[in-house]
Structure 1
């Protein structure tokens, strides 16, 4: 799974089995999932064709699921809980029966571990329940808007048959969505001000808790070297399983976790700049580019 921003769009790319409640929804393989910001007065006779134009302009095929929102992408919240990553934009000026109201709550859930078809659909139920719970905690008198949508996707061999809240997958989805909806609404409604999308990671250091990573004033800088680039503190290739860049280590829970604490690849200014221009670059391509920079620094 890889994700990146292009203007007013968050693109999530991979080899997915996915299910969507959005425009042209259903359940099928997909290589691209995206959420795109439109103007508040957006009115298009054919929303699917509009989404198709976005995918085509980006150079992607027709195997996609797309969502539309009036929420600016700077209010996007990304939450990572182990093998689950959630992308949320949220606005609630549309809790009424008027489908033309501009805002919506869009949730994209991606699992790096395979979900059965049943688990994909159950994840939609789990995410919706978490959304309703979050709105209740924030004292909203409704459980969603009339245009809310959920996309769920997973990669790899099936490891999870179910995704209810008592399962490993469902527990992580519920926690990430419940926290993410609240954080996304805080940003959309001005209670929290950020100039770029927000990234949260579930940490077990010092007790289970969510951490918002921000490059400004990072207490660990420089964790590698003076002048490092921190735009990709949480690597889009993780876990890469490349033994030249990381290794398996014992986790605090007794299992194993992929550690890349000594990897500097995306912290190197030249490599980071190349990746920003070429967000679809493969890991071998970046490693090759790093070698070329060392051979010819000019």
Structure 2
């Protein structure tokens, strides 16, 4: 799985078995999931066709699940908890039973797992994510459990590792925690209590006790973690965990088991490579490594 975003759209790419409650949703294999921002006065007679046209404009085929929102992508929250990554945009000015279609609304949640989920687990993850969303709204003092147009997409890659995803399972407790935190943070950004100029990234850390850490490039206490002049735009790596042993390693986790460490990887910190990736967001790791090799073979005079 990898993801990238433009000013108005989040794209998540991979080889997924997925379930969607959104427009033209269902259960199936997809290679693209996206969340697209529309204007508050959006009134398309055929939203499914609109999504198809959007996918086609990017060169993507019909194997996708798409979502629409009036929330700006700069309010997007991305949360990583081990093998689970969650993407949330949230606006609640259109709560049921008093909808106001002229104002921004919709809580969109995309859950991805790099460990395979059976179809039952995919569907149960939708329930778990919805429970967490309802709790986040309750803790925020809202009298409703969602808006009139909320949607959830759940996707996983690889062979099936999990057949259940309730809140007591390894999948469910991670999804619940990420969605609970993500909805709260996304609402804070949409409603102006927290101001960020770009999407926000959160990582679940066990260092010093379990907690969520927001990564921000400004004032990072670890800069430079690799070399002076490094680019930090992709510190929250869209390829993680790449499992490319020329770039990273499996290391022992403080909580047991192994985790992927990319502490020695400088690929996306190198200015020329980072600039190339911004110009070519569909580039894979092999292409980026090849581009870096070409720079090494033909250094600028």
Number of residues of Structure 1 aligned to a counterpart in Structure 2: 298
Alpha-carbon distance in structure 2 between the residues aligned to 1:238 and 1:29: 22
User: 4+ residue stretches of structure 1 with deviation over 2 A?
Assistant: 96-102
1:121-136 → structure 2 map (5 Å cutoff): 121-136=123-138
Greater mean deviation of Cα atoms: 248-257 or 118-127: 248-257
Question: For residue 8 of structure 1, what is the aligned residue in structure 2?
Answer: 8
1:22-80: CA deviation from partner (whole Å, max 9, x where unpaired): 10011010100000000001100000001111101111110010000000110010000
Could you list the runs of 5+ residues in structure 2 that have no partner in the other structure? none
| SS of corresponding position for 1:142 | coil
C-alpha distance in 1, partners of 2:261/2:201?
19
Partner Cα separation in structure 2 for residue 193 and residue 176 of structure 1: 20
1:266 equivalenced with 2:268 (yes/no)? yes
1:275 alignment partner, one of 247, 268, 277:
277
Task: Decide whether the 8 Å contact of 2:96 with 2:144 is kept in 1.
Answer: no
- Aligned partners of 1:31, 1:45: CA distance in 2, in Å? 26
The 8 Å contact of residues 93 and 100 in structure 2, kept in 1 or not, is answered as no
In structure 2, the partner of 1:116 is 118
Match of 2:36 in 1: 36
Task: Find the partner of 1:221 among 213, 220, 223.
Answer: 223
Classify the secondary structure of the residue corresponding to 1:91. strand
In the TM superposition, residue 234 of structure 1 has moved relative to its aligned partner by: 1.9
TM-score (norm 1): 0.98
Aligned-residue CA RMSD (Å): 0.9
1:100 corresponds to which residue?
101
The answer for the alignment partner of 2:140 in structure 1 is: 138
Say whether residues 1:82 and 2:82 are aligned partners. Answer: yes
Question: Aligned match of 1:181 in 180, 183, 202?
Answer: 183
C-alpha contact (below 8 Å) 1:126/1:173 kept by paired residues: yes
Q: Alignment partner of 2:14: what SS?
A: strand
Which residue in the other structure is 1:166 paired with? 168
State which drifts further: 274-283 or 115-124: 274-283
Whole-angstrom distance in 2 between the partners of 1:38 and 1:209: 34
Are 1:50 and 2:53 matched, yes or no? no
Do the aligned partners of residues 99 and 32 (structure 1) sit closer, same or farther apart at CA in structure 2, a change above 3 Å counting? farther
| Secondary structure of residue in 1 paired with 2:154 | strand
CA contact (8 A) 2:110 2:153 kept: yes
Return the alpha-carbon distance in structure 1 between the equivalents of residues 100 and 163 of structure 2. 35
